Amino acid sequence: MNSQHLHLRLHMQALSPSPIRTGSLHPPRKFSKTTTNNVVKSKLFLRLCNKTFDFGVCGSSRGVIRCSVAKEAGIEEEQKQQQQLGVRRAYPFHEIEPKWQRFWDDNFTFRTPGDVDTSKPKFYVLDMFPYPSGAGLHVGHPLGYTATDILARFKRMQGYNVLHPMGWDAFGLPAEQYAIETGTHPKITTERNINRFRTQLKSLGFSYDWNREISTIQPDYYKWTQWIFLQLLKRGLAYQAEVPVNWCPALGTVLANEEVVDGVSERGGHPVIRKPMRQWMLRITAYADRLLEDLDDLDWPESVKDMQRNWIGRSEGAEMEFPVLSSEGQERDIKIEIYTTRPDTIFGATYLVMAPEHPLLPSIMTPDQIKNVEEYIDIASRKSDLERTELQKEKTGVFSGCYAKNPVNGEAIPIWVADYVLGSYGTGAIMAVPAHDTRDYEFASKYDISIRWVVTPEDKKLGDSGKAFSGEGMVINSSSSTYGLDINGLHSKGAASKVIEWAEKTGKGKKKVNYKLRDWLFARQRYWGEPIPVVFFDDTGESVPLLETDLPLRLPELDDFTPTGTGEPPLSKAESWVKTKDPVSGKPARRETSTMPQWAGSCWYYLRFMDPRNSKELVAKSKEKYWSPVDVYVGGAEHAVLHLLYSRFWHKVLYDIGIVSTKEPFKCVINQGIILGEVQYMACRDPDGNLISAESAETMGEYNQEKIPEEEVMKSGDSFVLKDNPEIRLIARAHKMSKSRGNVVNPDDVVSEYGADSLRLYEMFMGPLRDSKTWNTSGIEGVHRFLGRTWRLIVGSPLPDGTFQDGTVVVDEKPTLEQLRSLHKCIAKVTEEIEGTRFNTGISAMMEFINVAYKWDKHPRSIIKAFVLLLSPYAPHMAEELWFRLGHTESLAYEPFPKADPAYSKESTIVLPVQINGKTRGTVQVEETCTEEDAFQLASQDEKLSKYLSGRSIKKIIFVPGKILNVILDRENTKVGVSR
């Protein structure tokens, strides 16, 4: 064996297109969104594989795989030691895997031709666009990629035209920040990261069509992102507005709400403030109802659909006007509009609350309160929307000094400023009803504001609880003869309708449907993003879109992309690019210097994959009509709301203008779970340095922790304790992989030690795809040994030098009935589990088959060929090599996937009741096709039944196949025999 294979590193490059062979096709099969939690069963088979059988020699050890923070020198030293020791391998994955990756690349095995036979069914399976970070992949990333690859390979073998592409969401803040820190242009670092990601993905054997690879930073891609923006602009769906934004002075950019955590930027931890800025907005609220209604027909997780419904937040209520009063108590010409979902409680409104950013606030605060209000506004500007609306936080506010009039009873109520009201929701002001809203109740209690009950709950105990009652009930204390409104005695729903009817009649309000969903803030003060194709006239400031024929507007090269410090975007430094002329009028103009957010390029990339080289249109209609929608879309739950919502919005706009043929982009969405780092064991010490048990530490409050090596730990009941001191219970916890915790496992190391097929198999075997799982190196050793057993079953035992003979040890003989039954039972299970995305139990079925096959004396070629095809979606490298050794010269990628024959896959034995003289005395297990003679023979050999038959003559046998055997004995004749 060549020792150089131990150092093999794979550096594949995407190659030019060439035709590909396809197979016969079958009707589409629907993928179930349900999963079966068979973790226990999977672990059982893992233990069987680990303990029951002889797996041969494996050179792997848990200590060899290192986290990505390990020093390179240490890894090289271990590799050198392995070479010197002449490590034997369970099977030669180090030769097989690069061989077949080269073959797939050289032969364009997974290329989907541009002109496919559209009479055949299609299957479009897609991974959520990865961001190519400098850290590269860790073992958590391939979880979803492996799942989609199994589906893609399975569907190809079922005869579908499969679209399985990969590309890069490559614009964004991380690359820009790294560029600022290092002085390296973000294009250089981004392309370097892309190359690394591509190499890592290819080393795992994913069957992507690399000919369709796209990146958001390519001008021929973002040309069409800009084109979509122009269509939005034409239809009034893109506009500019002065809005409060999350401004980070240190990063020099606007941040989305989800990029701000506890008042600081998620990246870098810099302070963030709220400030008004003129920004580009997209009118996603115009599509709110459609985004809500069309969720019902999607095969998505209900949790994801509920998150989108909550984010859109449709509610029905009333918009009411509260006139502002002068110091003399007279109505001023200023009215504060509020939105409420509970107009039935309006008589209980004892104060108003305005958001700190409300535009009318400067007009109403009294001179003696100006300083207090302005100081409060400054503090509120440093909080994120999430912080401000958190239910558990203590409510704060300041009195404006002014009062408003309640329109239903004329009562003067104080106007407060409080940050638990957002300027971006509703009207930016609320009527506060402390008796019937928890937040209002806490605020009123803190600031000694009156609380008035106007709804009586049906359960009287709730009214005496001393807390706010937010439910519905019978209305009380809600009548005004002066203003002509009486809703006393009505139920909440009827009262609400009557208030709205009165408000519309008197002109003091109206019925209103409202949404939590806000228009999409679409501008970023960054360099590394898509330029916005708009110019502004120098003389008037009027904005004018670029002509579509002038696209793409390319991002200019900049040497200095640091923040300006003034709020102006970095692009403002590119003076020669900024100064331009309107191509139509010839007037002097300046380009927009804000760029699009990272979300822009990832909103529509699934469409470009359908037709990635089209320079004339975003996507050809014929290709879009064939491939749409995406059949299965797999990605993390962190994108369950915004990415999916933004994509759906753009898709619906494109549907309205005739670019796409479907109302929704993604038919089925699957959120894979995350892979946590290996369990870490922590011991606790008190302030004096003494070891203490975890439960004692929890009560003590002040203690230190230290990491304990796994070899010093043992399990005791449901806990983990020190081996040397079992009285000390440890804290055992798995964390999300991160550099700071030092628990990142690099897939390159795993592939080097165990092979890509083992990594793929283990990630699928850890548990249901949708569940979170904990990485455990001993687990991958188990599936690696399973692959080694599979290899030796088919190829034979290793030679004395550790290598393997060419060919296989299979025989060209007709399989037995037992072998056919084992095979078809496995085919049925594996097929069913792939279609249900229950990959772990599909692997268990293959393990069962190998366990049974080891008991056979001979292994017929037809049986082994079918099993290799079953294995191929999971372990494609090994399967290709075995297929080749079985005498085939072409890839198995398009070979028909085996079909289970029900005649073999169903249970072949039954339990047959046996009666003696009409009385049931026992049962025997027989074949379904068992004859009367065979059934009687089995009964006479049964220990329990034989005592009734021994020494007795038989008068008659009644046999009903598959139902019963009744033996009638001759009571007088003792001669043993059978009389018919």
Task: Give how far the C-alpha of residue 267 lies from the chain's centroid of Cα atoms, to the nearest Å.
Answer: 22
Give the up-direction half-sphere exposure of residue 584: CA atoms within 13 A in the CB hemisphere.
Answer: 11
Q: Lowest mean pLDDT of 193-207, 546-560, 740-754, 912-926, name the range.
A: 740-754
Q: Which residues are CB-neighbours of 181 under 8 A, at least 6 positions away?
A: none
DSSP 585-644: T--EEEE---B--THHHHSSHHHHTTSTT-SSSSS-HHHHHHH-SBSEEEE-GGGTTHHH
Residue 70 · residue 138 · CB < 8 Å: no
Using CA atoms, how far apart are residues 880 and 872, in angstroms rounded to an integer?
7
Say what the pLDDT of residue 47 is: 37
Bridge partners (DSSP) of residue 666 are 630
**Residue 23: pLDDT above 90?**
no
Select the more confidently predicted residue: 674 or 162. Answer: 162
Q: Lowest mean pLDDT of 268-282, 401-415, 879-893, name the range.
A: 268-282
Band (pLDDT 50/70/90 cuts) for residue 386 is low
Say what the pLDDT of residue 258 is: 64
The first and second tokens of residue 326, run together, are 């002068």
Most confident range, picked from 68-72, 81-85, 693-697: 693-697
Say what the pLDDT of residue 640 is: 81
Using CA atoms, how far apart are residues 488 and 414, in angstroms rounded to an integer?
25
* Fold designation for 226-309+519-599: Rossmann fold (3.40.50)
Return the ∠ at Cα 624 (arms to 619 and 628), rounded to 5°: 135
User: Hey, where are the domains in the chain?
Assistant: 116-214+617-670, 226-309+519-599, 314-515, 675-766+771-775, 808-904, 909-969
* pLDDT, tens digit (0-9, with 9 covering 90-100), for 832-885: 999 999 999 999 999 999 999 999 999 999 999 999 999 999 999 999 999 999
CA dihedral (252, 255, 261, 267) positive or negative? negative
Using CA atoms, how far apart are residues 23 and 116, in angstroms rounded to an integer?
12
DSSP state of 964: E
Bridge partners (DSSP) of residue 967 are 916, 957
CATH superfamily of 808-904: Isoleucyl-tRNA Synthetase; Domain 1 (1.10.730.10)
Using alpha carbons, select from 627, 632, 630 the residue that is nearest to residue 672: 632
Residue 287 · residue 268 · CB < 8 Å: no
Q: Lowest mean pLDDT of 9-23, 446-460, 907-921, name the range.
A: 9-23
CA dihedral (762, 766, 769, 775) positive or negative? negative
Please give the backbone phi and psi of residue 92, each rounded to the nearest 5 degrees, phi first: -80, 60
Compute the average pLDDT of residues 713-730.
88
Is the CATH code 3.40.50.970 the one for domain 116-214+617-670?
A: no
Say what the pLDDT of residue 415 is: 97
The listed CATH number (3.10.20.590, 3.40.50.720, 3.30.930.10, 3.30.70.270) that belongs to domain 909-969: 3.10.20.590
Using CA atoms, how far apart are residues 224 and 618, in angstroms rounded to an integer?
6
* pLDDT, tens digit (0-9, with 9 covering 90-100), for 292-340: 999 999 999 999 999 999 999 999 999 999 999 999 999 999 999 999 9
Compute the average pLDDT of residues 433-443.
94
Say what the pLDDT of residue 907 is: 67
Report domain 314-515's class: alpha beta
* Dihedral angle, C-alpha 873, 879, 881, 882, nearest 10 °: -160
DSSP E strand stretches across 298-390: 315-325, 331-340, 351-354
Residue 822 · residue 907 · CB < 8 Å: no
Which amino acid does the sequence have at 235? R
Bridge partners (DSSP) of residue 721 are 714, 729
Band (pLDDT 50/70/90 cuts) for residue 938 is confident
Using CA atoms, how far apart are residues 373 and 370, in angstroms rounded to an integer?
5
Which amino acid does the sequence have at 254? V
Using CA atoms, how far apart are residues 595 and 209, in angstroms rounded to an integer?
31
Select the more confidently predicted residue: 822 or 53. Answer: 822
Compute the average pLDDT of residues 633-660.
94
Band (pLDDT 50/70/90 cuts) for residue 680 is confident
Q: Does 909-969 match 808-904 at the fold level?
A: no
Band (pLDDT 50/70/90 cuts) for residue 391 is low
Q: What percent of the chain has pLDDT over 90?
A: 62
Band (pLDDT 50/70/90 cuts) for residue 16 is very low
Say what the pLDDT of residue 718 is: 81
Select the more confidently predicted residue: 719 or 7. Answer: 719
CA dihedral (887, 888, 892, 896) positive or negative? negative
Band (pLDDT 50/70/90 cuts) for residue 72 is very low
Q: Is 719 exposed, middle or buried (0-12, 13-18, 19+ CB in 10 A)?
A: middle
pTM: 0.79
**Residue 42: pLDDT above 60?**
no
b vs e for 725-743, b when ≥16 Cβ sit within 10 Å of the residue's Cβ? Answer: eeebbbbbebeebeeeeeb
Say what the pLDDT of residue 951 is: 77
